[in-house]
Amino acid sequence: MSVPSPQAIREFLELQISSWNAGDKERMLSAYRSVAGNGLKVEYVGGPVLDGWPALDEMWTQYNSVIKIEIVEILVNGHEGACYLRNHATTPEGSVISPSLEIYNFGDGTLHARYFHNAH
């Protein structure tokens, strides 16, 4: 594995979001494996750095059925990508839209994903 090109980073970011929205967990995990086969870390800013594979599974289980993601902007520079997103959540009270920023740092077959959400 090697550090993905800026174009490959953009394609990964678009694919993992479209897979999430389509409810296609296997396609999403395959996209992650293609860039993070040597290691995946997930960090919810303000919390500890987590082993990425169980963190992705937990994220999917808790949120995929209730959140769809709207891409506002994807920025890629060198070996990093940043996403400004709107998360459309369906709750018992109705629909809620909350913004998030996601920062992805790609290494040689590794990925560290940092998620910024409003603290509640």
Averaged pLDDT, 92-110: 93
Confidence of residue 28 (pLDDT cuts 50, 70, 90): very high
| Domain spans, the chain | 6-117
For 85-95, the pLDDT digits (tens) are 999 998 888 89
Inter-CA distances, 40 with 77, 105, 111, Å: 20, 10, 5
Q: Which residues pair with 84 in a beta bridge?
A: 73, 101
Tokens 């929205």 found at: 21
For 55-83, the pLDDT digits (tens) are 999 999 999 999 999 999 999 999 999 99
Q: Which residues pair with 81 in a beta bridge?
A: 76, 104
| Residue 51 in tokens | 């082993």
Q: What pLDDT, on a 0 to 100 scale, did the predictor assign at position 40? A: 98
Residue type, 55: A
Averaged pLDDT, 30-35: 96
Class of domain 6-117: alpha beta
